[in-house]
Amino acid sequence: MSTVTIRARLGPLLALAALLLVLVPGTPAWAHNALAEASPAKGATLKESPAEVRLRFLQKLDPDHTTITVSDAGGAKVTTSAPTVKGAIGSVTIGQPLANGVYTVAYQVVSTDGHPVKGSYEFTVDDPAPPAESPSPSPSAAAPAPAATTTSATSPPLLAAEESSNTTVYGLVAGIAVAVAAVAAFLFIRRRKA
């Protein structure tokens, strides 16, 4: 096989590699952390007040730079514990049962590249037998709930949140890599037969 033929066959591979360099974002953009799963899940309607909020991220969390807050529909912060961090999971225990209503979970973490990442989502408590508290509970209105580590049976266990869009990028890159490998293998086998 001549050198000209080899160059002609490698041309499409080089063009594909150049296209990948243009289309695929640089590695530093992938270093940003993102929420992968949440419990209660984004948009969930719970039949019972959750005992905790647990968030799993794509990267390990720094305990000194992790903030998780819960607020009611009026923007008043709900009493919670300080965030507990174990690897890529951050959680807070809710101090007392939540009254029926919409709640917002807000978080701020730091990526491995030092970039702060913020986000928030809502869930709803719709308990048929709500606690006998006022809609805007005060920290001393009721005794603290036991520090349970599981949510109610009706709340879905750690469902994926919309913030986890990196999966699509990784899938695209993996698909392109497989295609390049297949083309290279085809050309290699064809060259061996010639």
Domain spans, the chain:
3-28+169-193, 35-163
Q: Which pLDDT band holds residue 106 (cuts at 50, 70, 90)?
A: very high
Q: How many other CB atoms are there within 10 angstroms of residue 94's CB atom?
A: 21
pLDDT at 148 over 90: no
Q: Angle, to 10 degrees, between the axis of helix 3-23 and the axis of helix 166-193?
A: 180
pLDDT, position 97:
93
Whole-prediction pTM: 0.55
Query: Helices (DSSP H) in the chain: which residue ranges?
Result: 3-23, 27-30, 166-193
| 166, 30 Cβ separation under 8 angstroms | yes
| 37, 55 Cβ separation under 8 angstroms | yes
Architecture of the domain spanning 35-163: Sandwich (2.60)
pLDDT at 147 over 50: no
The C-alpha atoms of residue 41 and residue 160 are separated, in whole angstroms, by 8
Instruction: Average the pLDDT over 121-127 and give the result.
Output: 94
Instruction: Average the pLDDT over 6-23 and give the result.
Output: 65
pLDDT, position 120:
96
pLDDT at 96 over 80: yes
